[in-house]
Amino acid sequence: MNLCKSQLAGLGRVFAWMAVGGGLVWGAGAEGAADLPEASGRRILAGDRLNISVREQPDMSRVYAVAGDGSVDFAFAGRVIIAELTSDEASRKLESVLEDKYFKEANVTISIANFVEGDVLVTGAVRSSGSLPFRGDSILTLMEAISRSGGLAENAAGERVRILRWLPGGSMERQGIEVNVRAMLDTMDFSKDQYLRPRDIIVVPFRGEEEGRNEFLALGEVKTPGFHPYTEDLDVIKAVTRMGGLGEFADWSGARILRPRPSGEYAVIPLDLGRLFSAADMSMNLPLQKGDIFFVPSVRNLVRAQVYLLGEVNKPGAVALSPGPNATVARLILDQGGVTPYANSGKVQIQRTAPDGSKKTMLVDVGRILTQGSFEEDVPLQDADVVIVPEKGLLGL
């Protein structure tokens, strides 16, 4: 019997699914799925990099990064949300934006320059919890991910497996998708299997676990992932201590507390651990609740941020922003050789573009921070920030 490539790949996936319950791993099935061609009509995801060409305005044609809120900074047209659209749908939306304000007719084409990459985390009652490398042009299903994690453990509550996924549109919430994996295994009906996305989190509960148990779950770049005891006085500092600290590749500024809601979705509470541990900003030392998930992403999954350093500095230009406690304006200037003798370091400007396209300017006394060691006054930087160190006597200062 001769089988085509797609039939072979499909058989490989079935073998992988059949292995989940018994803990066996059919590697060819799991890996074969990742080799399948891109699904028709793939949706654009945050973290993708897009080739966008505008026939009427060639200088707008370049590679654009899709930000975490699902938008691109579309030159003079401002920020436009295009995540969850296909390339054709996004092209039509950008054409509409340009025709509404700037051109009588616009022709926009979009292709993927680089697909978002981000590990899928599998934790809980599987035989080998951990992260699975994944890229946005690959195909990976929930069943395949569980198979590649060794299959369900004997005491797994396979009927209550949950996928945690960022909600589209830039909201600070994760969607909770509950899947009855046990029923799929019992009936061999995989029609309710789920395609995964980069940065999804899969939680497989243990049998007997109930909501509100006296534990919290640590995931990502922490020394001891998994469930840890909860106490009434638990806060971020104590939680980090209980999980043994952060991993080598921890994204200090990107930590999150995922808090379950009655609706089944998860509210996302952002944490800047760099501000907490390096600048002693105790506003980041938030209390935890039972059932919280403490998640620290990896810097290896980040679309590298970039800031622009201008004015009276010794090394002006674009600077790749390293995540962590040093991603602040004073430390950036220090790392780039400091300021010139003509600098007014007491009136350093940070120009920032908000997701809605509005502009705001902040003034920072970098001179005071560096001379007096007042790093609690330092300001964390964000992608595309413009830092301007003025000359003495200029800008009305």
First to last CA, the chain: 81
Is 43 contained in some domain? no
Closest CA to 323 of 388, 273, 378, 285: 273
Query: Whole-prediction pTM value?
Result: 0.50
Proportion of the chain above pLDDT 90, given as a percent? 18
Same domain, 267 and 315: no
Same domain, 283 and 312: no
pLDDT band at 396; cut points 50, 70, 90: very low
SS3 34: helix
Q: String of b and e for 77-102 (b: at least 16 CB within 10 Å)? A: bebbbbbebebeebbebbbebbeeee
Answer whether residue 24 shows pLDDT above 90: no
Same domain, 189 and 251: yes
Same domain, 293 and 240: yes
Same domain, 253 and 170: yes
Q: Which residues contact 154 (CB under 8 A, 6 or more apart)?
A: none
Q: Taking residues 384-392, what's their average pLDDT?
A: 90
Per the model's pLDDT, the better-predicted residue between 318 and 180 turns out to be 180
Q: Which residues pair with 355 in a beta bridge?
A: none
pLDDT band at 360; cut points 50, 70, 90: confident
Predicted confidence at residue 200, as pLDDT, reads 86
Tens of pLDDT, residue by residue over 293-319, are 898 887 765 555 678 899 999 998 888
Per the model's pLDDT, the better-predicted residue between 277 and 4 turns out to be 277
Domain boundary among 300, 335, 367: 300
The pair of three-digit structure tokens given for residue 129, joined into one six-digit string: 């919890």
When divided into structural domains, the chain yields a total of 3
Same domain, 202 and 282: yes
Q: Which of 129-143, 196-210, 225-239 has the highest mean pLDDT?
A: 225-239
The pair of three-digit structure tokens given for residue 15, joined into one six-digit string: 């073998």
Is 66 contained in some domain? yes
pLDDT band at 388; cut points 50, 70, 90: very high
Q: How far apart are CA 251 and CA 220, in angstroms?
A: 10
How many beta carbons lie within 10 A of that of residue 14, not counting itself?
A: 14
Q: Taking residues 319-341, what's their average pLDDT?
A: 83
Residue whose pair of structure tokens reads 């790949």 in the numeric block: 9
Same domain, 219 and 238: yes
Same domain, 109 and 122: no
For the ranges 85-99, 210-224, 244-258, 354-368, the lowest mean pLDDT is seen at: 210-224
Tens of pLDDT, residue by residue over 233-289, are 999 999 999 999 998 888 888 888 988 877 767 788 888 898 888 778 888 999 999
Q: How far apart are CA 329 and CA 35, in angstroms?
A: 43
Per the model's pLDDT, the better-predicted residue between 125 and 24 turns out to be 125
Predicted confidence at residue 260, as pLDDT, reads 81
Same domain, 237 and 295: yes
Contact between 349 and 361 under an 8 Å Cβ cutoff? The reply is yes
Domain boundary among 300, 325, 349: 300
Same domain, 140 and 281: yes
Proportion of the chain above pLDDT 70, given as a percent? 80
Domain boundary among 250, 276, 300: 300
Is 352 contained in some domain? yes
Answer whether residue 32 shows pLDDT above 50: no
Contact between 394 and 346 under an 8 Å Cβ cutoff? The reply is no
pLDDT band at 325; cut points 50, 70, 90: low
Predicted confidence at residue 241, as pLDDT, reads 92
Predicted confidence at residue 195, as pLDDT, reads 86
Answer whether residue 126 shows pLDDT above 70: yes
Tens of pLDDT, residue by residue over 90-114, are 999 999 999 888 888 989 999 888 8
For the ranges 23-37, 57-71, 84-98, the lowest mean pLDDT is seen at: 23-37
Domain carrying residue 335: 305-389
Residue 287 identity: P
Distance, C-alpha 339 to centroid of its chain: 33
